[in-house]
Structure 1
């Protein structure tokens, strides 16, 4: 299919494309903003471990797509007084980590301040991309336009049950990358990569050359290596947050993510 050409690729997509085209498997770890007093130190550890982008969750009181681990992390962050404004203030004080930052949240938080103010605040804080988990493509027009105007790339999600015509629309309208949800369910660690992951990423690749990152249920080096055979890279959230909740510090997280980085770097059959 022919993709729209009205919007040029932004910082997230250019960065991920360049690394993918150089043969690198992409790694995007997730952290709930404000979950610990020194939460921004974890982001530095992510970059040091070889992350290609970093996802920062803006905690919401009703995270319907998140499993228990990230739900609890959001509750902890909110109990500590975390808010979108405070999290973005923390990001504003960071030195350049050398990789794009992608905020993720739910549409209620976007509506709270209004799309214009919300996206402008993201950009001032150095955030390059935005994932809104409960925003379907057919309702994304306003936010997509506002985000693009602010220089923020709106990433859309695709699931195993997304019809092919809708999948083509998602792939064409997503910016930065396409977030492939590996299974029907919530986030969380699982024993094996879902069988639906390969079929979904294959269908996405029929309609776009945009980078595809696979998320939901990826937590081990073996799972990352398997995901790399189908997608350009992985999103790792619950496994990181479980370690944070268990008291892991930046060095611990760096060591864990390094094992995933090494798995992604190992030779495997690249995505077709």
Structure 2
């Protein structure tokens, strides 16, 4: 399914005149069993796409909440092969797109051709690799594309227009629009100039735009929703899941879904 499943998820919401809700979970925090339960229940609560973070020792794009989650998962011994097994066990009966978010080092160590074969076999639909720039992504793109898997790029308010167009030309699935400069983590209010920035991204692509980084409340989601096709919530959900457990995480998702 891969790219097709991602495209279908955005198209279904668009047909309803609504925006997609995309959430991030750190796989294995606090355990792979809890992650699996969370994925099933979040999908049932109206989440449209789920990103599963592959824990990494140096998550440079992430703020303290996701860094801490990554450290807890690594301390519990969570590995990429185990995450792929989890996805495989989840995939039967689960229609929601599942996207792995990983830094490049674990993927390169795994081997790109083996990785692609195992992603496809497990039922993963795409990859987000925050530290893989356009200039270096060709080997991964060339292995993923024939398998129908999406390499979803990140763009930022600081991305120049000409580079934006080149990134958009190679993007698959959707474009991850980082809403601010800096790392992940909940912020207050909306970044200045975000409407012009997102209009600039929209001008170079017909792909759906997912807006993430810094979105933690239904009010923020409601304000940003008209500017893109989906809202991505990570740190706020990871924090609630860690501090208060799955029922509280589901309540947050229900409020976000209602806002969208």
Offset of residue 166 of structure 1: 0.7
1:57 pairs with one of 53, 60, 65: 53
Q: In structure 1, the residue corresponding to 2:200 is in which secondary structure? A: helix
Residues of 1 paired with 2:201 and 2:15: CA distance? 18
Offset of residue 247 of structure 1: 3.5
1:116 pairs with one of 113, 134, 137: 113
Offset of residue 48 of structure 1: 1.4
Residues of 2 paired with 1:173 and 1:21: CA distance? 26
**In 1, are the aligned partners of 2:36 and 2:86 still within 8 Å (CA)?**
yes
Offset of residue 255 of structure 1: 1.3
Note if 1:147 corresponds to 2:144: yes
**TM-score, normalised by the number of residues in structure 1:** 0.90
- Cα deviations by residue, 1:65-119 (Å, 9 ceiling, x for unpaired): 0000000000000001101011111121113322110110111011101111112
2:14 pairs with one of 12, 16, 20: 20
More helix by share: 2
Q: In structure 1, the residue corresponding to 2:25 is in which secondary structure? A: strand
Offset of residue 161 of structure 1: 0.7
Offset of residue 223 of structure 1: 0.3
**Matching residue of 2:43:** 47
Residues of 2 paired with 1:41 and 1:9: CA distance? 24
Residues of 2 paired with 1:125 and 1:68: CA distance? 30
Q: In structure 1, the residue corresponding to 2:22 is in which secondary structure? A: strand
Residues of 2 paired with 1:118 and 1:169: CA distance? 25
1:161 pairs with one of 158, 161, 175: 158
2:171 pairs with one of 167, 170, 174: 174
Residues of 2 paired with 1:123 and 1:230: CA distance? 32
**In 1, are the aligned partners of 2:26 and 2:52 still within 8 Å (CA)?**
yes
**Matching residue of 2:27:** 33
Note if 1:195 corresponds to 2:192: yes
Q: Which runs of 5+ in 2 are unaligned?
A: none
Offset of residue 126 of structure 1: 1.1
**TM-score, normalised by the number of residues in structure 2:** 0.94
Residues of 2 paired with 1:174 and 1:24: CA distance? 23
Offset of residue 9 of structure 1: 5.6
Note if 1:103 corresponds to 2:80: no
- Cα deviations by residue, 1:168-197 (Å, 9 ceiling, x for unpaired): 111121110000001110000111122243
**In 2, are the aligned partners of 1:10 and 1:153 still within 8 Å (CA)?**
no
Residues of 1 paired with 2:147 and 2:71: CA distance? 30
C-alpha RMSD of the superposition:
1.5
Note if 1:260 corresponds to 2:256: yes
Aligned length: 256
Offset of residue 31 of structure 1: 0.3
Residues of 1 paired with 2:9 and 2:255: CA distance? 22
